[in-house]
Amino acid sequence: MILATSLETASRLQFALTAMYHWLFVPLTLGLSVLLGIFETKYYISKDEFWKKTTQFWSRIFAINFACGVATGIILEFEFGTNWSNYSWFVGDIFGAPLAIEGVFAFFMETTFFAVMYFGWNKVSKGFHLASTWLTALGTNLSAYWILAANSWMQYPVGTEFNPVTGRSEMVDFWSIVFSPMTLSKFSHTVMSGFLIAAIVVIAICAWYLLKKRDVEFSHKSIKYASVFGIISFVLLFISGDNAGYVVAKTQPMKLAAMEGLYEGQEGAPIVGVALLNPKKTYDNQEDPYLFNISIPYGLSLLANRSCSSFVPGIKDIIEGGYTYKDINGVEQTALSFEEKVKRGEMARRALNVYATFKDKKDNPSAQQALAEAKVYLDENFKYFGYGFLNKPEQTIPNVPITFYSFRVMIILGGYFFIFLILCWWFGKKKILEKYKWFLYLAIISVPLVYICGECGWIVAEVGRQPWTIQDLLPIKASVSGVSASNVYTTFIIFAVLFTVLLVAELKIAFNQIKKGPDGIKW
């Protein structure tokens, strides 16, 4: 790897490293918590000790994964202050609120009832223990909701106003942030992907038992429930993914264009199935964007606008502006060009700087007049504030190859998992899983594939919105802390080593518990 020297690149690398390691632990926690609730409910109703043992085994796997997720998540939140202090100052009043609620409410509930769920066997009543298990699952997924609400606000900033006196964005409508279309679509899609990952992991562990010809009843019943859970999760994942694509089309058209390698917009735009991008293509030349492609006619127009004949803008159209579109609220708008957005962003920044200058000079009459003028300019132009930091249209284009190919990998693997889960359910129903050793090996191989699928989804979401930390309001280069790049690279290396050690330790402990199996558990 060639190490870049810029602070911006170093900070991005470190945050990406931490986030990607964190996501290795989070999705299994989300999905397995719900499966634990299902297994224990079965035990509570049937009073069959088999289901108690099953719940206890999977709770061990949950606990190991949960602890590692907490460790990486805490570091991730600290990095907002250490590496992204300008960002934290600019939006701390907004971004901090959902994170604080997550910590005080959801995470507190999650950890409290997790203690009862894990240590409370034979110490509390069966009903209270079952309630604790479901409340752990609720707390786990509520934690995800508040974190994703914060992330969604970065993708689609709503419910806020900029205060020129403090130089910060301030929350004016809490509920519009919590229930924004971006928040709802991102939460449903992210959580369902976690459920899918949990289903695949459970099936893979049980497949290993079947290959070893041990814990057969445990494996068959766990696979039965996990495969149905996975199929339902996939259907909901597909529906939420379609809605997420629609929301992205309305709020982040440049991301959608990068996802599809779409440089010039068209009516009745097809959605690309498989393609190879032309590396010579730029937004301002006439090269063909693909070396080859297989597309689904009208698919992109249907996804973006719910109309097969509608116009979908490409990268060039978004830069040049002039086309009409309907926003997320159904209001028809005329797209501004990059130059016009920069002009408006600079007007807002200049007005703010004039006020700040008079304020520093303690020229109160002039400062008050400048403040009144700044508020007018900011009210009219603040939604383009971030463009005042940019000077070239190319800066608004995310990395098209990374976004494009990550999206394709996610979709192709998603299709594979649907077929895999259907076969798993069918083979399990017919009680012929052991006959197909190749399928059991395929189940084990599917674990790294499902994690790759999940990571690709996050790559699309985060790389696709570059160059913004907050869409249209704050670019990355204006968000970083005033520290040296060498310091960030040093901590990057330290974190890489620590996270790798943590992952290896987690896998070693988990594999040890898997080898013991449900019969080896002593409570």
Rounded CA separation 469/8 (Å): 12
Is the pLDDT score of 361 beyond 80?
no
pLDDT at 414: 96
Mean pLDDT along residues 463-475: 94
- Is residue 339 within 8 A of residue 318, CB to CB? The reply is no
Strand 311-312 and strand 324-326: the pairing is: unpaired
Q: Using only C-alpha atoms, what is the Rg of the chain?
A: 25
User: Tokens for 466?
Assistant: 């570059």
Write out pLDDT tens, residues 395-404: 999 999 999 9
Mean pLDDT along residues 467-493: 91
Tokens 């080859």 correspond to: 292
pLDDT at 204: 97
Task: State the pLDDT confidence band at 267, using cuts at 50, 70 and 90.
Answer: very high
Q: Is residue 263 situated within a structural domain?
A: no
Range of 92's domain? Answer: 29-155+483-518
Q: Is residue 399 situated within a structural domain?
A: no
Q: Is residue 115 situated within a structural domain?
A: yes
Burial status of residue 121 (CB atoms within 10 A of its CB: 0-12, 13-18, 19 or more): middle
Q: Is residue 67 situated within a structural domain?
A: yes
Rounded CA separation 295/457 (Å): 21
* Number of helices and strands in the chain (H, E): 16, 10
Task: State the pLDDT confidence band at 78, using cuts at 50, 70 and 90.
Answer: confident
Is the pLDDT score of 198 beyond 80?
yes
Is the pLDDT score of 510 beyond 70?
yes
Q: Measuring CA to CA, which residue among 379, 399, 400, 375 is closest to residue 476?
A: 399
pLDDT at 5: 53
pLDDT at 34: 97
- Is residue 11 within 8 A of residue 86, CB to CB? The reply is no
Q: Measuring CA to CA, which residue among 158, 228, 254, 260 is closest to residue 429?
A: 228
| Distances 163 to 85, 257, 355, 388 between C-alpha atoms, Å | 18, 33, 12, 17
User: Tokens for 265?
Assistant: 């917009």
- Cα dihedral 233, 234, 236, 237 sign: positive
Rounded CA separation 30/229 (Å): 13
pLDDT at 520: 67
Peptide bond into 467 cis (omega under 30): yes
User: Tokens for 50?
Assistant: 């088999």
pLDDT at 522: 59
Across 94-103, 106-115, 193-202, which has the greatest mean pLDDT? 193-202
Q: Is residue 405 situated within a structural domain?
A: no
Rounded CA separation 55/53 (Å): 5
Q: Is residue 414 situated within a structural domain?
A: no
pLDDT at 2: 37
Q: Is residue 45 situated within a structural domain?
A: yes
Write out pLDDT tens, residues 223-232: 999 999 999 9
Q: Which range is least confidently modeled, 203-217, 360-374, 402-416, 428-442?
A: 360-374
Domain count for the chain, please give it. 1
Q: Is residue 91 situated within a structural domain?
A: yes
Q: What proportion of the chain, given as a percentage, has pLDDT over 70? A: 98
